[in-house]
Structure 1
Amino acid sequence: MKNKIYEGIDQQPGGAMTPTANVIRDAWVFGIIPTDETCAGWSSQRIEQLYEQVSVAWKPYGHLPSRLPPDLRERHEQIYSAAIARARDAGWNPALGEND
């Protein structure tokens, strides 16, 4: 099986509102990767390793933004608010369709 390569959070259609993009945004929140890292060209194994790091970082907070300390909660809010605005500008609609 050929190794999948990630296109990058900035290249995903619909404003990158996907589980992989959320892992990347969470990695930005926790400072695991810099906010200018799009993960373009990363293998699926490397994305999985990032997911594992993000999961460990979330664990003390129960994976809930409301439990983050104020500095991380503010960073989370900034990153996700900007992502939602970009996604809506790109045509993303948060409502689920019949087949979702």
Structure 2
Amino acid sequence: MSRQNKVYPGLEQDAHAGMSPTGNIVRDAQVFGLIPETETCIGWNVDRIEQLYDQVTAAWMPYGHLVSRLPDELRQRHQRIYTAAITRARALGWDPELPDDE
């Protein structure tokens, strides 16, 4: 399958219940309001995900990529989105202590 034909399965179907680098990009984009919180990016191709990654990287820059430096509103949104994602992933069997290939 060529790079152009690869598509992201979306947060719901992503490896380890969305606990992946691409899942983090999608959640961070939700935190910064770059996409709606309901957007899971299902079916997005690699180029579109890379564009989102660039936007997320730019959004994090003023805060040094540290949650602790986010303004209260963004920090609270980050906590809410990531807490829900971690809770869901653990309920589906994700264990952060296990290597990705387990």
Structure 1's unaligned 5+ residue stretches are none
Structure 1 residue runs of 4 or more that deviate by more than 6 Å after TM superposition = none
Counting matched residue pairs gives 99
Structure 2's unaligned 5+ residue stretches are none
Q: Residue 46 of structure 1 aligns to a residue in which SS?
A: helix
Q: Deviations over 1:24-62 (max 9, x none)?
A: 000000000001111011000000000000000000000
* Alignment root-mean-square deviation, CA: 1.4
Matches within 5 A, 1:58-97: 58-97=60-99
Determine which of 6, 9, 14 is the counterpart of 2:8: 6
Percent identical: 58
Q: Which residue of 2 aligns with 1:24?
A: 26
TM-score normalised per structure 1: 0.93
Determine which of 42, 45, 50 is the counterpart of 1:43: 45
TM-score normalised per structure 2: 0.91
CA distance in 2, matches of 1:12, 1:62: 27
CA distance in 1, matches of 2:59, 2:18: 22
